[in-house]
Amino acid sequence: MIDVYIDGASAGNPGPSGAGVFINYKNGQVENHSVPLGSMSNHEAEYEALIIALDICLEKGLTTASFRTDSKLIDDAIEKRYVKNKQYQPYLEKAFSRIEQFDLFFLKWVPSNQNKNADALARKAIRKT
């Protein structure tokens, strides 16, 4: 099973934003994805990072994956299948439409210091916008 680390970042709230996706294949191979997102809030960037990572995995046929995020918002929304702020409902629906295509999907919250690669990729993406 691969490990997929995700992070979204914004310079301002809203402001220029980016998504970072770090995939560890656990065989010595890793992938880095740094995706500019335009102007949005940090929470929107976190959701976009999740959706982008899910799309990358599905495009590659990687349907058994363990995702890691340092966003409690994302972790809680996926675990509870619920968002308090209805503004994020479309993001949650997009995410689950992809998650349902996985054979095995896990999402785990990790502290920021364990998500440094994805964070750096998200910040790099902001500079590309």
CATH number at residue 23: 3.30.420.10
How many Å apart are CA 112 and CA 81, to the nearest integer? Answer: 23
3-state DSSP of 28-84:
CCEEEEEEEEEEECHHHHHHHHHHHHHHHHHHCCCCEEEEEECCHHHHHHHHHCCCC
Residue 69 CA to chain centroid, in angstroms?
7
State the residue range of the domain holding 42: 2-128
The number of beta carbons lying within 10 Å of the beta carbon of residue 54 is 25
Peptide bond into 14 cis (omega under 30): yes
Total count of domains within the chain: 1
Average pLDDT estimate for 31-51: 98
pLDDT of residue 128: 86
pLDDT above 90 covers what percent of the chain?
98
Residues 88 and 50: their CA atoms lie apart, in Å, by 13
Give the chain's mean pLDDT: 97
Query: In degrees rounded to 5, what are phi and psi of residue 58?
Result: -65, -40
Average pLDDT over residues 22-50: 97
pLDDT tens-digit map of 76-100? 999 999 999 999 999 999 999 999 9
The predicted model scores a pTM of 0.97
d(CA 104, CA 97): 14
Tokens of 21: 């996706």
Tens of pLDDT along 11-34? 998 999 999 999 999 999 999 999
